Amino acid sequence: MAASNLLTQLDAIDQNDLVYVERDLNFAQKVGLCFLLYGDDHSDATYILQKLLPMTRSEFPQSDLLLQYAKSRPETWKRRLVEALCIIGARQVLRRLGLRWQELRVHYLPHIGGITLHVHPLLKSLYRICEQLSLAQSGRLVLDVGEKVARQQAGDPLRFYDPSYLEIFLLDWLTRGCIRLGDINATGSDVQLLIEHLKFNDLQEHAKLLIDTINSNAPDESQVVVDPPLTIKREVQSDSQPAAAYSQRRKNALELSRENAGIALIINQREFHQKVSEDLTKYLSLNRLRDRVGTDIDKGRLTEVFSSMGYKVEAHNDVDHLGIVQLIRSACDRSVLLDSLVVCILSHGFEEAVYGANSIALRITDIENVLCSYENLYNKPKFLIIQACQEEAPNKGERNEQALPFKLNVTTQSPGQHVNMVRAMSTVNGFAALRHTHNGSWFIQCLCDAIVQHSDSEHIADILTIVTNDVAEKRGKNDESMVPKFNSTFRQHVYLPPRQ
């Protein structure tokens, strides 16, 4: 599209079109667009923040923000609006305005950070960061920077808590002067709070985007911002975890942090009963389940090891089948700002099932689906550790097909929801899981040993391979043996948090 043709197309846009443009945008797009249009002026940022906050609480938010924007800038609104629509990727809206995406893409370069024609370059870079951060990363930024802002500034705090609309928090920080954009060349800008947070949380590319945006828009060499090399702060390691071991970790891996490691939920079934309502009797185990003597040793060891890595351990004893589901769902709900989730179930079981304390079994696949069905856990490492026998299922022909697992009504919508999920089982299907009444189970004790000895240098998959080898080499008094197994959908190597 030639420049003259583009100007002709832009001139053809009428203010009356903006009502329909705004209706075609979803709320997330509207927030991003308003951030790009209003964010570079203090009074404008204050105005749009006051408009957006009530809309976040409305089920069907309606507004005329674009029309008001056009009326306040009769000479410049068209070019800036079209560029902002390009940045947020509103292709359908642009087509309805009679514009062609491919030609606009070449003209405005929306895919290249820090380069703009009309929108403030730092607003574009900040918007790109908002789009690229995960929900957990956004939540961590809100907590960290928000805490620093609260210490620096007086006045009423922002009464908004949804990190999925990160631009709203940025608008608040802009109005408070805690971050500054400077002029259209980013001269006089100050986004150091954000840069420091991004560096510290291993988001070097995002920090570099902000630095490069300031440097590349500086009008001459004398005004270029010189930033020190990007570094990542590491915790001081104890003698048992030398720094040299951490240098051996593979590149492009996911390293979980101590500060936000997550919840380690331990469900420890020692004693079992069959006191259930009549409608649940068909799910009861065929035989009365024995006490699992020695399981408390496993619970204590898991608590010690995961606590040492910064996990918040929540251990529960003798939980019925629905209580298990409730505890897992609660942990999922509370993991939005955390790096990972660990669920350990220590119980009796049979092939692809594990028992609640009320002698009713759950399908292990259903438990996995619960973990993978939560949006705030998408792409986060999820660990399901099962210590339970996996012998063949009870004879379903007896007692009117009793002892079937209780079926949970839970599904996932796409294979992608199962990314970054690992299931570690104490035994392969068809066999018993061995447990010592004084020393705990072979599998759990070997798992804890391997984490303590190797987590400083080995990723999760390699640690589980070590566990499989260690357990497979064990022999009982009567030559008993056992082989654990694990299934993983990790997309990259995942390292556990540093231990104390």
Residues acting as catalytic residues: 348, 389
30 Cβ partners below 8 Å, 6+ apart? 22, 55, 61, 63, 65
Give the largest Cα separation in the chain, rounded: 89
Give the integer Cα–Cα distance in Å for 249 and 30.
42
Q: Are 18 and 63 in contact (CB under 8 A)?
A: no
Packing angle of the helix pair 166-175, 135-152 (nearest 10 deg):
20
Q: Are 177 and 149 in contact (CB under 8 A)?
A: no
Give the integer Cα–Cα distance in Å for 426 and 163.
38
User: Of 155, 132, 146, which is closest to residue 194 (Cα–Cα)?
Assistant: 146
User: Of 329, 303, 333, which is closest to residue 316 (Cα–Cα)?
Assistant: 303
- CB atoms inside a 10 Å sphere around CB 171: 25
Please identify which residue in the block is written with the tokens 């024609």: 117
Give the integer Cα–Cα distance in Å for 226 and 311.
38
Spacing of C-alpha 497 from chain mean position: 16
Give the integer Cα–Cα distance in Å for 102 and 439.
67
Give the integer Cα–Cα distance in Å for 298 and 440.
5
Give the integer Cα–Cα distance in Å for 7 and 4.
5
